[in-house]
Structure 1
Amino acid sequence: MKTDYLMTIIVPVYNEAENLDRVKEAFNAYFAQSPFQSKVLFVDDGSKDGSLSKIEEICANNAHFEYITFDRNYGLSTAIKAGIDQVNTPLTGYIDADLQTTPLDFDLLLNELGTNTMAVGYRAKRKDTLSKRIQSKIANFIRRSLINDGIIDTGCPLKVVRTEEAKRIPFFDGMHRFLPALILLQQGTVKQINVRHFPRIAGKSKFNIFNRSIKPLQDAFAYRWMRKRYINYRIEKVCLV
């Protein structure tokens, strides 16, 4: 029986086999209580730890789960773009497979989305290690200093965006750090909502001091360059033959 889904939730996966049973359980709990019809799209980013086998098992037994898989590891930005390219629902969600945020909070974002283009979470009470919090503070300071987009927590892995606008986002490697800023660049609007945050209890973080500070610095300069040259226009009248 066909289900009219409102949202497809992209879950990028890179070596998260230890977390995937929890991901399935968390989403099944969310689907059971949410008034919004949603489904999951796993994007396996060339995992080498058995994640793909686990994803295939989950998707074979539940119509609310789908997946695509890469031939090798391409990185988070590419995984998000590939997911967006496949989405055919009005809304696109995003969450990390580490479950440091909960699918249950998607309803907070959906209830607050209103007429906005995007709703994003921010983690007011983070449960990360001290080193990870310091790295994130450095990255957020760099981003705010260079682009000043007003986003409290651009790295929060809980987002909902209108799919039509998501498909217009200009993609580049590292763009996952700037999704709200890129929506603002398209003259969209972003609503920010406080969401829960949890410690990672399985698997390993893929982030380090390099990709939390040096890479964001490079990408912030790339965004500033693009912002100055980005084309926006509104057509007032059309007469085409």
Structure 2
Amino acid sequence: MSMTSESADPDVRPPRLSVVVPVKNEAGNIEALVAEIGHACHNLAPFEVIYVDDGSTDETLATLQGLRGKHPWLRVVRHDRSGGQSGAVRSGVLRARAPVIATLDGDGQNDPSFIPVLFAALDQGGAGVGLAQGQRIGRKGAWKQFQSKIANGVRGTILKDATRDTGCGLKVFRREVYLALPYFDALHRFMPALVTREGFGVVHRDVVDRPRFTGRSNYGMFDRLWVGILDLAGVWWLIRRRRPAPRAEDVPEDVPHSETR
């Protein structure tokens, strides 16, 4: 008997996939997006969805709590104050139970139907691929397009990460690879370069950008461009300082040691 997304009990088997969604004051966008994620991940069961409420002051937390009875795979984490998008993603990844993580923004602009596409790309790449990165097409908003074009152009020239759009929230990656990355604010915008730094491959898939469901952006737009310059310099330094890490393995004891008398 096939297991539907609604009947997937997260306590029966460990999940194959953990979907992490950072949100701040997105009460009006939660119910529809949760339903879309459940539908998109139907064939990836067992899975879990971890919403991280990043210090919301609206009805975000109450809305999430109300949905948990309907969706047994839904988990909720709450920050006592806003820590930013990268901090919210990290809180979700640290609590995730699956070896593979998917992330997407909580405003509805990232279409969850692309999660299986990215999951398959990561899986097909094998253990040597650490990240499947979405790259948006059909972006909404001339100002956002202008910002992203400049920021991605500067970043790509300096880091040479072969990624057109690192700011896309749709990503699927190996949890152990993410946890090996140096953590800092805005980490999510530099993951392709940092995953490559750790010796893993990055694959890309185009994803469709949508208008947000309701409301307006709750994470500042200027961090896409001007504030990111300092982070860019830091990531460039990290890459330059990278040394190949030796691979460690346990040495088995072929012959038991004699007891010392």
- Report how many aligned residue pairs link the two structures: 239
Moved over 6 A (4+): none
In the alignment, which residue of structure 2 is the partner of 1:94? 103
**Which of 125, 139, 143 is the aligned partner of 1:131?**
143
Contact 1:142–1:216, Cα closer than 8 Å, also in 2: no
Partner Cα distance (2:67, 2:233) in 1: 40
In the alignment, which residue of structure 1 is the partner of 2:134? 121
Partner Cα distance (2:219, 2:71) in 1: 31
2:35 is the counterpart of 1:25 = yes
Contact 1:155–1:177, Cα closer than 8 Å, also in 2: yes
Unaligned 5+ runs, structure 2? 1-8, 254-261
Tell me: CA distance 1:196–1:150, structure 2 relative to 1, closer, same or farther (3 Å).
same
Q: CA deviation at 1:31?
A: 3.5
Tell me: CA distance 1:230–1:24, structure 2 relative to 1, closer, same or farther (3 Å).
same
Contact 1:183–1:189, Cα closer than 8 Å, also in 2: yes
What SS does the aligned partner of 2:172 have?
strand
Task: Specify the code of the residue in structure 2 equivalent to 1:220.
Answer: L
2:207 is the counterpart of 1:187 = no
Structure with larger RCO (C-alpha < 8 A, sep 6+): 1
Partner Cα distance (1:123, 1:194) in 2: 6
In the alignment, which residue of structure 2 is the partner of 1:76? 85
Comparing 68-77 with 221-230, greater Cα deviation is found at 221-230
**Which of 4, 19, 24 is the aligned partner of 1:9?**
19
2:47 is the counterpart of 1:47 = no
Task: Specify the code of the residue in structure 2 equivalent to 1:15.
Answer: N
Tell me: CA distance 1:162–1:21, structure 2 relative to 1, closer, same or farther (3 Å).
same
Q: CA deviation at 1:220?
A: 0.3
Tell me: CA distance 1:57–1:237, structure 2 relative to 1, closer, same or farther (3 Å).
closer
- Compute the TM-score of the two structures, normalised by the length of structure 1: 0.92
- Compute the TM-score of the two structures, normalised by the length of structure 2: 0.85
Q: Percent identity?
A: 29
Unaligned 5+ runs, structure 1? none
Tell me: CA distance 1:105–1:162, structure 2 relative to 1, closer, same or farther (3 Å).
same
Partner Cα distance (2:219, 2:146) in 1: 12
Contact 1:119–1:160, Cα closer than 8 Å, also in 2: yes
Q: CA deviation at 1:3?
A: 3.3
Task: Specify the code of the residue in structure 2 equivalent to 1:121.
Answer: G
